[in-house]
Amino acid sequence: MGQTLKCISPIDGSVYAEREILPREAAFELTQRSRMAQTGWAARPLQERIDLVMAGVAAVGAMNDEIVPELAHMMGRPIRYGGEFGGFNERASHMATIAKDALADIEVGEDEHFKRYIKHVPHGVVLVVAPWNYPYMTAINTVAPALIAGNTVVLKHATQTLLVGERMAQAFHAVGIPEDVFQNAFLDHDTTSELISQRAFNFVNFTGSVGGGRAMERAAAGTFTGVGTELGGKDPGYVMEDADVDAAVDTLIDGAMFNSGQCCCGIERIYVHASLYDAFLEKAIAIVNGYKLGHPLEQDTTIGPMANVRFANEVRSQISDAVAAGAVAHIETMPQDDGGAYLTPQILTQVTHDMRVMREESFGPVVGIMKVSSDAEAIALMNDSNFGLTASLWTADLDRAQSIGDKIETGTVFMNRADYLDPGLCWTGCKDTGRGGGLSVIGYQNLTRPKSYHLKKTTG
C-alpha cells in the first residue's frame, strides 16, 4: 500500500477515513483521460449538459441523510444545521438557469460582406481544488458551471473532508455523466504541482490558504495556465449610528460564530459607532453565552468542535496574545472546552490593529469589537487589512452604504446582511484574498476563453 491521506475526526481524534494517494503515473493517466473525454462532452448540446449536471446535483441531495452526519464526523459541523444541500442546489440551479444567455455567442455584426462574432469556448480540463469548511458548496461553485460550459473536471478535495469528492463523483456518474468527464482524485501536493507545471490542466480554481494559492501560482508560472484563487479573508462589519442594533448584532455574531467561525466570508472584526457600542456588546455577549458547545451529533449542540486541533490552537494563540496585550475576553471558558478541537467562542474588546487577532485570518469562533466615531475612521480600519473578501455595512441609508462601499477595498459589499453568497453576483476578492471570480455571468467568462470569428463571404 502506498502513501495515504487520513481524515482525522475532530470529534475524538480518530481516523475517520483513509484513502491511498494516486501515484504520479496514474495521476497523469487520469488527466489524459479527462482531456480525451473533453471534446465529446463539449460537443453535446448545452441543454443536455445542463440536465445531466442538475440530475447529478439532485442525486447528491438524495444522499443528504448520510452526508449530514458524515460532515459532522469529518469537520465538526452540528447535525442540527442539516448540511449544505440548500446552497449547493441554489448555486448550481442559478448557473444552469443563466447558462444559455451567458454562453451565447456575442454578435458583433453581419452584412453582405462579413459575419463577425465571439464564441465562449471551454478551456478544456479544469482542476478544482476545494476546501473543507463548506466542502459541497465551494466545490459546486466551479464544478457545475465548468461542466455546463463544456469543460471536463478533476476535483481534488481537502483531506479533512476526504469523502466529499467520492460522494459527488458517485452521484454524477449515476445519472450518466461519463466517469472521465468528472473525476475525483486523491493527490498529494507535489503531484498536483507537477501536473499543473506540465500543463495537464487548462484552468485551475483553488479555494484555500494564501500559502496554498501562492503554491498554485508558482506551479503554473510560465505555463500561461489560468489560476483563479479565493484565499479567505478578515471580513469587517460596520454598525452605524442609525442601524437596527438588534438585527446587526444577531447577524454579525452569527456571521462570526457559525460553523465554529470557519467561514471564508465570516465576520472577524466589528466596528460599532460609539452611540450603539454598549448596547451592541451587551447583546453580543448574551448571544454567545447562549451557545451550546458540544458533540456535533447531538441535536441540541449549536457550536461544534473546530475541524482540527491545530486550527483551534491557532485561535487560542491569537486570543492569548491579544489578552496579554490588553484585550478583554468576555466569554468564560465553557465546560466542554477540552483544550483541543472543542473551543470556547470568544468576544474580545479593547483590541487594536497591532494584535494578530485583528490582522491575521483567525478562521475560528473569535471576533474583536472596536468603538468608532465616524465613517472615515471605520473606512480606514476596514481597509487596514491584507485581505478583501466581503464587508458588512449596517445603516438605514442606502446612499450612505453605497458611498462607503465605494471606498472599501473588498470583493463584496453587504448592507444589512452578511456571510451569504448570492450566485447572481460574482464571488471575488482583492489583495491577499486572491483574484478571479466565481458564479454569475462572470463565472462563465472565467471558465471559458473568447474565440473570435471574422468571416468574409464570397461574392458571385
- Residue whose grid cell is 479527462: 34
DSSP class of 385: S
Task: Name, in order, each residue with C-beta under 8 angstroms of 41's C-beta and a sequence gap of 6 or more.
Answer: 49, 147, 150, 151, 152, 178, 181
Q: Closest by alpha carbon to 308, among 156, 161, 208? A: 161
Residue 319 grid coordinates: 486570543
Taking the C-alpha atoms of residue 320 and residue 362, their distance in angstroms, rounded to an integer, is: 13
Q: Within a 10 A sphere around the Cβ of 288, how many other Cβ atoms? A: 21
Single out the catalytic residue among 70, 84, 230, 361: 230
Residue 292 grid coordinates: 451550546
264 an active-site residue?
yes
Q: Closest by alpha carbon to 266, among 369, 364, 396, 350? A: 364
Residue 143 grid coordinates: 464544478
The CA distances from residue 196 to 30, 276, 359, in Å, are: 13, 51, 32
* Relative orientation angle of helices 46-62 and 135-148, to the nearest 10 degrees: 160
Taking the C-alpha atoms of residue 363 and residue 262, their distance in angstroms, rounded to an integer, is: 5
Amino acid occupying residue 1: M
Q: Closest by alpha carbon to 250, among 223, 226, 279, 230? A: 279
> What is the DSSP secondary-structure string of 123-163?
-SEEEEEE-SSSHHHHHHHHHHHHHHTT-EEEEEE-GGGTT
Assign residue 40 a region (left: φ > 0; alpha: ψ between -120 and 50; beta: otherwise): alpha
Q: Which long-range contacts (C-beta less than 8 Å, at least 24 apart) are formed by 13-19?
A: 13/309, 13/340, 13/341, 16/73, 16/74, 16/162, 17/74, 17/162, 17/163, 18/162, 19/162, 19/186
DSSP class of 261: G
If you compute the radius of gyration of the chain from its CA atoms, what whole number of angstroms results?
A: 23
Taking the C-alpha atoms of residue 127 and residue 125, their distance in angstroms, rounded to an integer, is: 7
Single out the catalytic residue among 264, 265, 268, 426: 264
Q: Closest by alpha carbon to 233, among 273, 262, 271? A: 262
> What is the DSSP secondary-structure string of 300-311?
T-SB---S-HHH
Q: Which residues are catalytic?
A: 230, 264
